[in-house]
Chains A and B, each alone.
Chain A
Amino acid sequence: MPDDLYPSADRYPSADPRNLWQGQEVEKILLTAAEIRTRATHFERRVHRRNLREYVAGAVVIVLFSMQLGRVQGWRLAPALLSILATIYVMFQLHRRASARPLPADAGLKTSIEFHRGELERQRDAARGVWRWYLLPFLPGAVAVLFVAGIDRGINARLIASGAFSLLVFVGICALNEKGARRLDSKIKELKAMETENA
């Protein structure tokens, strides 16, 4: 590592941290208008690719359920159809609520407290409403799967265990997200208190 990138304090006799900090050599970039437009386009593409990966899992689920559609008829199509619809709805909601996105254009207008609070509120709301937009849509499909299994093979211990396990997973996801939302809430309150002091 070149020495002048990290000059020692011996070269700053007063060891004044401000001088030390400001005196360091750092990488500077200065982009031309054309360069920055090209990089902005690349960056947007990268964000889109990152979001695209989130949809691949959803697409796999849809393909798997679609394969079942060919094997059954009539009302027995209900579990697969309901699950496909739920997956599409949840993918749309994921995109709307939690997808990666470039920094908002008004980032310069907001103090960091306002900006940070806004980001935390977005995450909290996504976590708090998870039962409504993530779990509830899958419920009709899950119930239909159990219903069809109950008709075909009768109500047995395995079916009851599957139902109980699904319920446990639903409740567990809700509880974890609620816990996360409460943690975010306390951070948001701290930030709000700092803002109120200024009002």
Chain B
Amino acid sequence: MSEQDDLYQRAAEEYGAALGRLARGYEADPDKRRDLLQEVHLALWRSLDGFRAQCSLRTWVYRVAHNTAITWITRQKRGRPQMLVSLEELDATPAPPDAGRRLALDRLTQLVQRLEPRDREVILAYLEGMDAAAIGELTGLSARNVATKIHRIKNLLARYFHEGAGHAG
């Protein structure tokens, strides 16, 4: 096996679940999600040929995955336009009535899927447990921008899930 193949196996084992969640954040349709996930894996494998530890493997994997997914939703939007909103816009709209928490995960997924790509990437990274510095490295956003977005995300999630905005990155 080549070094590229070895790296891919390592990345897929370590971050495979995160990639699956990321695909869910970007694509609601299960069949298309499978296609997206496969595209992410292919892009990852192809990209690892150029991996020279310029950043951590995790950052590399997430960058490739988000960049692939953003390209994917841009392509999907051309054929199926949908209204995506920013964190600011979502924060300004009332939270839906509490459905007794039973469908909390569905609500969270739908919330993520409504966001425009830039904000979706930040919220997905936040949900994956990345801290502000890692989110900045992944997205290229300034520390101030990341801090503002995380603050909004916490408020938004607190409103949607009645959760104190306690911990953060």
Contacts and interface: CB of A to CB of B under 8 A. Distances in A.
Contact of B42 (A9, A36, A111): A36
A39 B49 contact: no
Interface stretch (A63-71, A74-82, A102-110, A145-153): A102-110
Contact of A22 (B21, B46, B138): B21
A197 B102 CA distance: 42
Prevailing SS type, chain A contact patch? helix
Contact of B145 (A10, A30, A194): A194
Nearest to A36: B45
A92 interface: no
B105 A108 contact: no
- Contact size range, A: 35 or more
Nearest to A27: B20
Contacts, number: 178
Interface string A187-199: 0000000110110
Given A7-B105, A109-B50, A113-B140, A27 B145 contact: no
B97 to A, nearest CB: 15
Contacts of A194: 140-142, 145
A108 B47 contact: yes
- Contact size range, B: 35 or more
B37 A39 contact: no
A116 B17 contact: no
B128 A22 contact: yes
Interface of A: 6-10, 12, 14-18, 20-22, 24, 26-31, 33, 36, 39-40, 43, 102-103, 105-116, 119, 194-195, 197-198
23 contacts: A6-B105, A9-B104, A12-B104, A17-B127, A18-B126, A20-B105, A26-B23, A27-B33, A33-B1, A33-B9, A36-B41, A36-B45, A39-B38, A102-B43, A103-B47, A108-B61, A111-B140, A112-B70, A116-B117, A119-B74, A194-B140, A197-B142, A197-B145
Interface of B: 1-2, 5, 8-9, 12-13, 16-17, 19-21, 23-24, 33-34, 37-39, 41-43, 45-51, 54-55, 60-61, 63-64, 66-68, 70-71, 74, 101-106, 108, 117-118, 121, 126-129, 136-142, 144-145, 157, 160-163, 167
